Chain A
Amino acid sequence: MKKKNSSSSGLGQLLIPLVALGILIVFNLFRDISFFSITMRVNNSGNSVLAGNLISVIDSASELAIIAMGMTLVTAACGGQDISVGAVGAISGAVFVKVLQGMGSITVSSVIIGLVLCCLATIVFKLFNGTLVAVFRIQPMIATLILYSCGRSIAYWINGDATPQLNSPIISSIGMTIPGIPIPTPIFAVLLVGLLLFLVFRFTSLSLYTQSVGINANAARLNGINPTYIKLVSFILLGVCVSVASIIGVCRLGQLNHKTLLVDIEMDAILAVAIGGNNLGGGRFKLIGSILGAYIIQMLTTTLYAMNVAPVNVKAYKAIVIIIIVVAGSPVVKSKLTALWNRIRSGGPQNAQKEGVS
C-alpha cells in the first residue's frame, strides 16, 4: 500500500535519483573541480573530439542506459528481470562479427545487414526467454537463468575461441566518433533508442497495456488485453536494445571477446531500473528513471576511478553508495522523513498533533 503512494506522484519517483545525481555532482565539485573540465583533443585517428570525465561518463554509460530501457519494459510487463542480457549480448556480438567476416569487406551496407541479422538473432533468443515466461508461466529470472548460464558458450561456439578484430573506419565511427562530429557516437545511439521508444509509447497504447499487464495480468486479460502478446513484445524490444548495445560494445573495442563483452551488465541494468524508482515487482514504470539510474551508476564508477580506487575494489564502495541510495528511497524512510518535515514546518510537535486532530 505504501509502495503505491510513493510511486504515484509524477516527480516522487524521480526525486531520489535526481537527488543522488545532484549529490554526486556536488561531491565531485568539492573534491576536484577539474572533474568537470571538457577539452577538445585529437584522437588516434586524427579527429578532434570532446574529452573529459563528464563526456566519458555519458559515453561509457551508453550500453547500460540502452539495456536499462529494455529491462524496464520487461520488468514492468513480467514482474521479473531478465538476467541473460549480458550473455545474449555476447551472442549478438558474435553474430554481428560473423556476418561482417562472412561479407568480406566492411562497408556501410554490410554493417547495416549485420545490424539487422544480429537484431533478428537476438530477438530469436529473447523470444525463447519470452515464450518460457509468457506461455509456460515460468518466473523470468529462472527462465533467463538458462541462457545466462550457457549464452557465452553459444557465443564461443559461433565464433570460436579467437577474439576477432574489426579494423575499419566505419567500426570506429560507430564505437567512438564520426569524423567531424566531436560527440561520441554511442550517445546518439542512446538518444535514438530513447526517441524510438518514446515515439512508440506516444503513438500506441503499449505503455498503458504494459503497466496493466504488470499490475494484474488476469484483470488485463479480462479487459481484452492479451498478456502473452504484451510480454513477448517487451522481450522483443529488450532484444533490440541488447543487440544495439552489443554492437556498440564490439565497435568500441574493435574486437569481440565473448567472455568480457557486456559482462555483468545484467546486474547493473537491474540496479539502474531500481535506482530509477521503478518497482521490480512490475506495473508502473518510468523509462527516464532507469536512464538516470544508468548514468548514476556510471558517474559513481568514474568518480571512484578518479579517486584512484583499484578497479577490482570498486564494487565494495559501489555497494555502500547503492545501499545509501536505496535506503533513502525506501518507503519507510520516506514516510518518516515526510512526517519529520511536516513537524518542522508546522513548528514543534504540539502543533503537528493539533493539525492531525483537526
Chain B
Amino acid sequence: MADKNRGARIRQREPLTDAQMLMFISIGIFAAMYLAAMLTLKGGFLKPQQIFDLLNDNAALIIIACSLTIVMIGGGINISVGGVIGLTVMSCALFLNKVGVESSFLSILLTFLLALGIGLGFGLLQGFLVSYLEIQPFIVTLAGMFLARGLTTILSVNPVKVQHEAFLALVKTKLKIDWLGYTAKNGNLIPAKIEIGAIVAIAVVVLMYLMLRYTKLGRSIYAVGGNRQSALMLGINVKRSIFWSYVISGLLSGLAGFVFLMHKPAGNASVAMRGEMDAIAASIIGGTLLTGGVGNVIGTLFGAMILATIQKIIALSPLNASWWQEMANGAMLGFFIILQSVVLSARSRGRAKRLTREKAAPQPPEDPPPSA
C-alpha cells in the first residue's frame, strides 16, 4: 500500500518525460497547422479526404520514418533507406514486367517477397557491420546508400513503367468509407478513399509501437540507446539488439519500397531521392533524439504528417514554386528544431531549480515519531 502511494507521488512529480513532451508538441503543432489551413486555405482541407490523401501520398515516408526511429532509438542512424526504396521499386517493377503482363496473383506475392528480401539483405549486412564489427553506422549506411543507388542505375537508367494488370488492379484498389465522404455538386456521394499503402503504414506504426513498448527486443533497444555500458551491465545482449534494429529497419525499407510502387507503379533512378533526410526530419520533429534512447513511433507518424502538411499548404498557397517550397520547408524545420530545443532546456532548467529549492528547504519529518 505504502509502496503504491510512493509510486504515485513520483509519477505526479514528473508528469511527462521529455520524449512524451516533444511528441505532444508535435501533435499540437500538427493540429494547429491543420486548423490554420482549414481556416485560411479552406478548399480540400475542410474534407476528411485531405487527411487520407496525406496518408496515401506519404505512406512510404511514414514507414521509413518508423524504421529510422527504431534505429535512432538504438543510438544509430540509417541513411540507406531512401536508396533501398529506390532499388526495391526498380527491381520490383522490372520483375513484374518480366513475369508477363497477365500472370496471376502469385507473381504479386513473389514481388512482395522480393521487396522484403532486398530490404532484409541490406538490413542483415548493415546490422552485421555495425553491431558485430563496430563500424560507425553513418559510414556503413552511407555505403549502403551508394550501393543501392548504384545498383538501381545498373538495373536501368531509364524509367520503367509497370504493365502487370493484376498489380495495376491492386494499385487501384481502395478502401471506401461512405460516411466520411462528401456530396459533390451534382449530388453524387463521393466516399473517402484510403489506399492499401496507407493502411499498411498505420499498421506498421501500431506494430512498431507495441514492439518497442512491450517486447524484450524493443525495451533492449531503448536501454542500449540510452546507455550502452549500463545495458551491457544489466545483461542485455547489446550487439544482438543493435543488429536486430538494423534488420527491422532494412525490412521496413523494403516494405516501404513495395508500398511506394503501389502508390506510383513506376521505377525510376530518382525515386525517394533524399527520402532518408525527410525520414530523419520526421523522426526528429516527432521527438526522437539522434543520441539514442528517446523516441516514439507515434510521434514519428505526426512528424511525417507535419512535413506532408507543410508541403501541401505550400503547394496550395500562391508561392507554388519549387524553390519557395524548399525554403519554406527549411524555415519550418528550423522553427520546430529551435522550439524543441528551447522547450527541452526550459524544462531541464525548471527541474534543476526545483531540485535546488528542495535541497534548500528543510527536510520535512518523514513520520511522526512514535511518542509515548
Contact = CB atoms under 8 A, between A and B. Distances in A.
Contact of A139 (B154, B277, B291): B291
Contacts of B134: 2-3, 330-332
A354 to B, nearest CB: 30
A316 B333 contact: no
Given A145-B277, A153-B326, A316 B147 contact: yes
A141 B77 CA distance: 11
A267 interface: yes
A333 B324 contact: no
A149 to B, nearest CB: 5
B133 interface: yes
B317 interface: no
Given A143-B337, A153-B323, A327 B280 contact: no
Interface in B151-165: 151, 153-154, 157
Given A150-B330, A316-B151, A142 B290 contact: yes
Contacts of A156: 323
Given A139-B290, A139-B291, A280-B138, A145 B333 contact: yes
A interface secondary structure, majority: helix
Contact of B334 (A146, A280, A323, A327): A146
Given A148-B277, A330-B133, A132 B323 contact: no
Given A138-B341, A149-B277, A313 B154 contact: yes
A232 B291 CA distance: 21
A150 B153 contact: no
A193 interface: no
B16 interface: no
Contact of B333 (A149, A153, A270, A310): A149
Contacts of A322: 139, 142-143, 146
B284 interface: yes
A2 B228 CA distance: 14
Given A139-B290, A146-B337, A280 B154 contact: no
Nearest to A139: B290
Interface string A240-283: 00000000000000000000000000010011001000011100
A312 B153 contact: yes
A31 interface: no
Interface in B308-343: 322-324, 326-327, 329-331, 333-334, 337-338, 341-342
Nearest to A331: B134
Given A139-B291, A270-B138, A319 B147 contact: yes
A142 B157 CA distance: 32
B333 A271 contact: no
A4 B277 CA distance: 31
Q: Max chain B CB contacts within 10 Å: which of A156, A314, A316, A332?
A: A316
Given A139-B289, A146-B334, A156-B323, A315 B147 contact: yes
Contacts of A136: 337-338, 341-342, 345
Interface in B2-16: none
Contacts of B151: 316
B204 interface: no
The DSSP consensus for interface residues of chain B is: helix
B150 A316 contact: yes
A326 interface: yes
Interface string A287-310: 000000000000000000000001
B135 interface: yes
Interface in B168-194: none
Contact of B146 (A81, A146, A147, A319): A319
Contacts of B342: 136
Nearest to A312: B153
Contact of B327 (A154, A326, A332): A154
A152 interface: yes
A270 B277 contact: no
Interface in B244-269: 269
Nearest to A318: B146
B146 A145 contact: no
A157 interface: yes
A196 B357 CA distance: 51
B140 interface: yes
Nearest to B291: A139
A327 B135 contact: yes
Interface in B264-281: 269, 274, 277, 280-281
Interface in A317-340: 317-320, 322-323, 326-327, 329-333
Contacts of B331: 146, 150
B150 A317 contact: yes
Contact of B290 (A141, A150, A326): A141
Contact of B326 (A81, A152, A333): A152
B80 to A, nearest CB: 10
B269 A312 contact: yes
Interface of A: 2-3, 80-81, 132, 136-139, 141-143, 145-154, 156-157, 267, 270-271, 274, 279-281, 310, 312-320, 322-323, 326-327, 329-333
Interface of B: 77, 129, 132-136, 138-140, 142-147, 149-151, 153-154, 157, 269, 274, 277, 280-281, 284, 289-291, 322-324, 326-327, 329-331, 333-334, 337-338, 341-342, 345
Closest 8 CB pairs of A and B: A316-B150, A150-B330, A315-B150, A319-B147, A319-B146, A153-B323, A153-B326, A312-B153
23 contacts: A132-B341, A136-B337, A139-B290, A143-B337, A146-B330, A146-B333, A146-B337, A147-B330, A151-B330, A152-B326, A153-B330, A270-B138, A270-B142, A274-B138, A274-B139, A313-B150, A315-B146, A316-B151, A319-B146, A323-B140, A323-B143, A327-B133, A332-B133
